[in-house]
Structure 1
């Protein structure tokens, strides 16, 4: 590291490197100019020094030029330049060399105690030489001033030569450190904002994926159940159309009611999606920032991405809360399956109470999807729906026997997402979900859904031990 630390500081700021130890060509030109002026000054003062010392004038001039030219090294070896200026103080030359050298030393990264020692040596040398020369001049002129005049003039001269450059150099050094500190803090803040923006974008992407999954799950629940019942009723309508017109008319009315219900739920979902798209389009209407303004919008990017993630989560909660089914509608849901000829036994245990809307919607969807699977995969089988109201949770059990028609499948299309969607719904709320065949040849779906929050996001749940305990409870429910 150089004595001044200017080269390193400039390189750290990305300044173009100059020749040798200079960070910029402008700095080299300044130092060369100062060195030339110092050499000229010392050369002129070298004439008087040669006369007083009794040496050839040319030697005194050459010595002055050599000493003054050392100022060109002030950024590289500031201590050496100051020591040279102190060494030539008895020769009464090098005023510019001493002043600029002290300023450079004080502004450099040299420890302050070294700067103080060298400044004291320079001031002491100037003080002593001034006192000696002043007394000699007084004796030559025959002037007899007061005793205090010589010390006062000498002190003023010494302080005037050493104090201003040292104080100015210390000020420049402190200011440079402050600027570098502020720049480092700004760079660190920019990096932190960039990381925050990246994390917020990841959260927004995760929220978008969750929203797409939720929409797909809702579409599946709405379409699969309603359309499955419509297909079953349509098949019954086709079978009895000619034999029993009255029953055929009743089945046709049921098909129409189910179709209207499906359209109503789809309209509600599409209305929520349109409102979300409108909010996104308003947020995306702002023009992109110019390249030179890239540093400033990082905070806005982080805040916007975080707001997008929160808006997506809020939209999901809004979609869950608007027009969602509740446990009070289970009777109507079971009645739709009974209308198709399925035997469904609905039983409620415990004292009925209200749960958070998301809890009731999840319990309703579990029963809905389980009955849909019975229509698809066990036509003609009887089913049992059991709902247990508890203090801080609700337990749901849907179990069906084997198909009485001897058919393993009703021929309805299935994407294999029903059980996955039920498990995701229950796991989102921190509950347990179990499904599988029974010993009698049927199928069982069981879920335990905790009621941890009211109409809000559930508290964080350990996905390991907590869900394992809930799964065991669901299996035994």
Structure 2
């Protein structure tokens, strides 16, 4: 990996320079400053009575100090102040003050050095231009003007450039931070979307199991009864055949509605829906449910559900305790599905057994229980397949709403399924 400003296939900038153009710029400025100070060193050597070559070499070395202005700006300014009495280092002083003001050096240090440079420039200018007493006011005014002109503008410009650079760095850092946050939010939205798809697949499987298992189980029971009585009791056989047809049509209707929702769910989510996934609960993050709870079965349909099992030859007793209340749609649908699946299991595993369905309306909750007695040994086994997902699906439904689910064998040799759901 190359550093900032590098070009692929070339070496990066040397030493402390961040970019090659910074290095080139400082070399040019250092060269100009060295040439200027070397030229001014001639006059300094004559005034000091030293060899001209020594003055030129001294000036060249002083001017070349500007090359390290980015690394040691304080040293550059101090050198400029030190050589001010020698009347050399104009470019060195101006660029040094600008670099110092635009760097990360504390402001109190910048102010101190700028003040020292201002005073040094004023003193040197005054000593070189002083004349008669009548001209003192003009000399002082000229010295102040030159000192201010050589000190204040580079300091102010450096402060401006430094503040602008820090602002740009802050904005860039904020932009990078926002980009990282957006990337994390996008990943989180994708995870939520995947979670929502998984939940919908589970819900679809549960709904398909409830609809198909119950309807088809009753159809198989009626078909078996129809086969047994077709020759003996044609009227009852015709009634059973009509029931089988009705249940088949009901199953097809429910499956058709479910498949319609699935086709709608296959449409790609709009960008607004994906944006909502960042803040909405995963179950509602742009992915529709299999069916609206408001369109599902309710507790009022339990009587019809029990009636279908009675029509299939099952001895079912339904007991209702307490007065019904207005429950949430998902609560009523879940209660209905629990009773429906429990009755389906009775058809599968307890043919000929007596079944009791209890529904209790309590304060803030609704409870249901389906209990079957021991199987009647004389009853024919319907031969219905079992996938082993019925109890699992009931438990998931009930626990998903914050309820309690219990199932297991009874002391009398039967089986019991109990569930309690909060009313809200």
TM-score between the two structures when normalised by the length of structure 1: 0.83
Query: Partner residue of 2:119?
Result: 124
Task: Quote how far apart the aligned CAs of 1:384 are.
Answer: 0.4
Alignment RMSD: 2.2
Task: Quote how far apart the aligned CAs of 1:276 are.
Answer: 2.1
Note if contact 1:378-1:410 (Cα within 8 Å) is conserved in structure 2: no
Task: Quote how far apart the aligned CAs of 1:239 are.
Answer: 1.0
Distance change in 2, residues 1:256/1:185 (3 Å): same
Query: Partner residue of 2:415?
Result: 443
State yes or no: 1:235 paired with 2:224.
Answer: yes
Where in structure 2 are the equivalents of 1:56-455 lying within 5 Å? Answer: 56-135=51-130, 138=131, 145-278=134-267, 280=268, 283=270, 303=276, 309=282, 311=284, 315-316=288-289, 319-405=291-377, 410-452=382-424
Note if contact 1:240-1:247 (Cα within 8 Å) is conserved in structure 2: yes
Distance 1:177 1:37 in 2: 29
Note if contact 1:197-1:301 (Cα within 8 Å) is conserved in structure 2: no
Distance 1:217 1:223 in 2: 10
Distance change in 2, residues 1:313/1:174 (3 Å): closer
Distance change in 2, residues 1:64/1:82 (3 Å): same
Query: Partner residue of 2:36?
Result: 41
State yes or no: 1:51 paired with 2:46.
Answer: yes
Distance 1:150 1:323 in 2: 98
Secondary structure, aligned partner of 1:341 = coil
Note if contact 2:192-2:285 (Cα within 8 Å) is conserved in structure 1: no
Distance 1:108 1:300 in 2: 48
Query: Partner residue of 1:465?
Result: none
- Alignment gaps of 5+ in structure 2: 7-11
Distance change in 2, residues 1:134/1:409 (3 Å): farther
Note if contact 2:331-2:421 (Cα within 8 Å) is conserved in structure 1: yes
Comparing 198-207 with 428-437, greater Cα deviation is found at 198-207
Note if contact 1:384-1:399 (Cα within 8 Å) is conserved in structure 2: yes
Distance 2:329 2:277 in 1: 29
Task: Quote how far apart the aligned CAs of 1:122 are.
Answer: 1.2
1:107-155: per-residue Cα shift (whole Å, max 9, x none)? 11111111111111111111111111001xx36xxxx644321211111
1:57-110: per-residue Cα shift (whole Å, max 9, x none)? 222111111111111111111111111111111110110011111111111111
Note if contact 1:104-1:169 (Cα within 8 Å) is conserved in structure 2: yes
Comparing 301-310 with 250-259, greater Cα deviation is found at 301-310
Distance 1:402 1:408 in 2: 14
Distance 1:307 1:395 in 2: 31
1:156-182: per-residue Cα shift (whole Å, max 9, x none)? 111111111111111111111111112
Note if contact 1:268-1:323 (Cα within 8 Å) is conserved in structure 2: no
Distance 2:422 2:281 in 1: 28
Distance 1:237 1:88 in 2: 119
Note if contact 2:352-2:376 (Cα within 8 Å) is conserved in structure 1: yes
Note if contact 2:100-2:158 (Cα within 8 Å) is conserved in structure 1: yes
Note if contact 1:123-1:159 (Cα within 8 Å) is conserved in structure 2: yes
Distance change in 2, residues 1:407/1:439 (3 Å): farther
Comparing 112-121 with 368-377, greater Cα deviation is found at 112-121
Secondary structure, aligned partner of 2:416 = strand
Aligned length: 418
Task: Quote how far apart the aligned CAs of 1:310 are.
Answer: 5.5
Note if contact 1:385-1:398 (Cα within 8 Å) is conserved in structure 2: yes
- Alignment gaps of 5+ in structure 1: 1-9, 287-298, 453-477
